[in-house]
Chains A and B, each alone.
Chain A
Amino acid sequence: MPTNIYSPSDVQTLLDNGAQLVEVLPREEYEEMHLPGAIGIPLRHLDLEAPGKLDRSKAVVVYCWDSV
């Protein structure tokens, strides 16, 4: 289970410590707008694409549109 974080400063702290940022929305939505430095991996492709795009030794922060 992922650890929930709620503040942008927590995100930034993790990024400062080498974490990878991943948006899990569909590709089009990622292209329209994403957090700086985020990689776009749609949720349904996560299992397939994550091994090739992410470094297993580093933390991962995922996000989508909002909390709803």
Chain B
Amino acid sequence: MYDFVPGKVDWAARGLPVEGANAGKPNAGNLAQRDVATCSVDETVGAVQQRAADKGGVCVVVNEQRIVFGVLRDEQLGGSGDAVVADVMRRGPSTFRPHVAAKEMAEYMTKHNLSSAPITTADGKLVGVLFRDVVMKATENDS
């Protein structure tokens, strides 16, 4: 017997096909932007600003294993370019698993006024960033 340890969340997070009632429905994973700006804690805001601007205006702070430590959004990216990421980042942002339904994400992001949210695997590795305008558009016809 074999145990596929990462499980179906990891499988779906990689964009691999799945079956079932929710298989064709939009969720955090299939709506997330995969090509996102990332940076490390020891970089400066100035070094990250253009990178973030090119990829949706947000930068996810990760380590070498792409484990999420924080996020830089408008407020942090608009600050002093000499500031070190570790000192200004929003630590421990709310993260979501790829299988979370788009409707649930839309409701949460609206309620908490989140413009974006990191999508991660269960062990915290970055999958992508879900932008609120994308998930709102995907759910606009849902009742």
A residues with CB within 8 A of B: 2-6, 8, 10-11, 14, 19, 23, 30-38, 59-68
Contacts and interface: CB of A to CB of B under 8 A. Distances in A.
- Contact-residue size bin, chain B (C-beta under 8 Å from the other chain): 20 to 34
Given A66-B121, A67-B122, A68-B123, A33 B3 contact: no
25 contacts: A2-B3, A3-B3, A4-B5, A5-B2, A8-B11, A31-B21, A33-B8, A33-B20, A33-B21, A33-B22, A33-B23, A34-B18, A34-B20, A35-B11, A35-B19, A36-B17, A36-B18, A36-B19, A61-B3, A63-B3, A63-B8, A63-B11, A64-B8, A66-B7, A67-B122
Contacts of B17: 36
Interface in B1-55: 1-12, 14, 16-23
B2 A61 contact: yes
B132 interface: no
B103 interface: no
Contacts of B23: 33
A59 B123 CA distance: 28
Given A34-B18, A35-B19, A36-B19, A60 B4 contact: no
Contacts, number: 96
B106 to A, nearest CB: 18
B1 A35 contact: no
Per DSSP, chain B at the interface is loop
A5 B4 contact: yes
A34 B1 CA distance: 19
Contacts of B121: 66
Given A11-B2, A33-B21, 18 more contacts: A2-B2, A4-B3, A6-B4, A23-B8, A30-B20, A33-B8, A33-B12, A34-B8, A36-B18, A59-B2, A60-B1, A61-B1, A62-B4, A66-B7, A66-B8, A66-B9, A66-B123, A67-B6
Interface centre among B1, B9, B97, B123 (most CB of A within 10 A): B1
